[in-house]
């Protein structure tokens, strides 16, 4: 099952964490998906948006974050189970009870520095790959909140996840982040990277002519594969950093058109995932058919060769007699 999606843009400030949060809560509430959110950003933004403060404080002070798991397995080379670091019962949306979180912490940057210093990049990538291999079978969707730029951990997820999704504000600087990612792909065309699911134009001001201009400009590039719906810059999405002390309904958190936009966005996301799955199955079937055909052809050649050898041997025997 290919269901691990890393959400990232080389440019920060494009609403990546807010988008990951909203996607997770919409997928859980309206599509009954079992979602794992992996916070791979040292700022731990989505961790603060999903977990209540006492819950997150306990995980960070008790060494039970995703960063602590990586330190144990990569730097200390100790056996650890990533499931022991997962926080359940997160999100303040009462119908989004099927979301789990691997929280982050601010010492992620220090961890990455130690990885680079000790040449542990391959170990880090293997650890990330093994985690995702297990998470794919345990969750319907795995969403990774990637850090801006291309850090060691972000690159690992870009290589080990199945897909990547890029939010972008409709402005020039944000589009430079998309260009950076494209150039990174072109720099090493043989590398196997996550498949591009597309660009979500995010935080668009519906009253800005400049935003509309960049929205159209982004959509002109077919490689961006822009989602049909642009996410507007609205107050409910900007206020998601506040975790309600009491559970609230989905519509209380994402009222009116905001909730409608998110449902349409997740419907298109699931459609793109289904299409990618079907394309992968078709390609696999085609490869198997080609290999089987080649095997049959090879078998026929060998049979003809054996028959020819037998006839040749018989002819020579008759000549000698």
**302 occurs within a structural domain:** no
Q: Is the pLDDT of residue 307 over 90?
A: no
Question: Could you tell me the pLDDT band of residue 1, with boundaries at 50, 70 and 90?
Answer: confident
Chain mean pLDDT for the chain: 88
pLDDT higher than 90, residue 277: no
Please give the residue range of the domain that contains residue 279: 4-285
In a domain, 297, yes or no: no
Number of domains in the chain: 1
Q: What is the mean pLDDT of residues 120-141?
A: 96
In-domain check, residue 119: yes
Report the pLDDT value the prediction gives residue 285, as an integer from 0 to 100: 58
Of 101, 200, 144, 180, residue with least CA distance to 4: 144
**CATH assignment of the domain containing 86:** 3.40.50.300
**Within-domain flag for 254:** yes
pLDDT at 209 over 90: yes
Q: Is residue 12 helix, strand or coil?
A: coil
Instruction: Choose between 188 and 76: higher pLDDT.
Output: 76
Indicate whether 321 belongs to any domain: no
Residue 67 lies in a domain: yes
In a domain, 35, yes or no: yes
Work out the pLDDT band at 278, boundaries 50, 70, 90: confident
Over 70: is that where the pLDDT of 317 sits?
no
pLDDT at 286 over 80: no
User: Does residue 294 fall inside a structural domain?
Assistant: no
């Amino acid at each position: 099952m290919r269901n691990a999606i890393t959400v990232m843009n080389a440019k920060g400030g494009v609403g990546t964490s807010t988008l990951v949060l909203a996607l997770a809560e919409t997928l859980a509430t309206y599509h009954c998906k079992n979602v794992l959110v992996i916070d791979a950003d040292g700022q731990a933004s989505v961790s603060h948006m999903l977990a209540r403060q006492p819950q997150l404080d306990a995980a960070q002070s008790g060494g039970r974050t995703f960063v602590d798991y990586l330190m144990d397995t990569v730097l200390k080379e100790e056996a650890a189970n990533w499931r022991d670091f997962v926080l359940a019962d997160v999100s303040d949306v009462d119908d989004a009870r099927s979301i789990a979180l691997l929280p982050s912490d601010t010492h992620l940057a220090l961890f990455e520095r130690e990885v680079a210093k000790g040449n542990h990049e391959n170990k880090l990538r293997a650890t990330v790959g093994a985690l995702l291999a297990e998470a794919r079978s345990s969750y319907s969707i795995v969403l990774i909140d990637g850090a801006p730029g291309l850090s060691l951990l972000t690159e690992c997820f870009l290589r080990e996840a199945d897909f990547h999704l890029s939010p972008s504000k409709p402005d020039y600087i944000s589009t430079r982040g998309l260009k950076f990612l494209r150039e990174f792909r072109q720099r090493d065309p043989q590398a196997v990277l996550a498949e591009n699911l597309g660009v979500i134009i995010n935080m668009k001001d519906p009253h800005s002519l400049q935003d509309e201009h960049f929205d159209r400009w982004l959509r002109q590039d077919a490689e961006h594969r822009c989602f049909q719906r642009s996410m507007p810059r609205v107050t409910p999405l900007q206020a998601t950093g506040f975790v309600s002390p009491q559970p609230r309904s989905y519509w209380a958190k994402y009222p009116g058109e905001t909730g409608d936009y998110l449902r349409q966005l997740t419907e298109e996301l699931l459609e793109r995932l289904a299409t990618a799955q079907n394309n992968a199955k078709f390609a696999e079937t085609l490869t198997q058919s080609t290999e089987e055909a080649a095997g049959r052809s090879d078998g026929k050649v060998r049979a003809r060769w054996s028959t020819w050898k037998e006839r040749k041997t018989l002819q020579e025997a008759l000549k000698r007699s």
